[in-house]
Amino acid sequence: MKKRLLIITTGGTLASSKGEEGLAPELNSTEIFSSMEGIMNYYDVEFMDLMAIDSSNMQPEEWKLIARTVYEKREDYHGMVIIHGTDTMAYTAAALSFMLPNITIPVVLTGSQLSILNPIADAVENCRCAVNMAGSGVPGIFVAFNRKVILGTRASKVRTISFDAFESINYPYIGVVNSNGLDINRYALKRTHRRFELKDKLSTKVFLLKLVPGTNPDIFEHLYQMGYEGVVVEAFGIGGMHFKKRNLPEAIKNVIEKGMTVVVGSQCLYEGSNLSVYQAGQKILKQGALPCNDMTTEAAVTKLMWVLGQTSDKKEIESLFLKNLAGEITVPKRKKNEYH
CA 90-94-100 angle, to 5 degrees, is 140
> How far, in whole angstroms, is CA 66 from its chain's centroid?
14
Number of residues in the chain: 340
- Please tell me whether 55 is known to bind a ligand: yes
92 annotated active-site: no
Name beta bridge partners: 290: 263
- Please tell me whether 87 is known to bind a ligand: yes
Among 9, 13, 296, 297, the one annotated catalytic: 13
Among 9, 10, 86, 110, the one annotated catalytic: 86
With residue 123 as reference, give the H or E element that holds it: helix 123-134
Name beta bridge partners: 182: 177
204 annotated active-site: no
> How far, in whole angstroms, is CA 114 from its chain's centroid?
22
Residue 27: CB partners within 8 Å, gap ≥ 6? 15, 16, 17, 115, 116, 117
Q: Are 115 and 17 in contact (CB under 8 A)?
A: yes
Distance between CA atoms of residues 88 and 337, nearest Å: 36
- Detail the residues annotated as belonging to a binding site for substrate: 55, 86-87
Residue ranges at the known binding site: 55, 86-87
Q: Catalytic residue numbers?
A: 13, 86
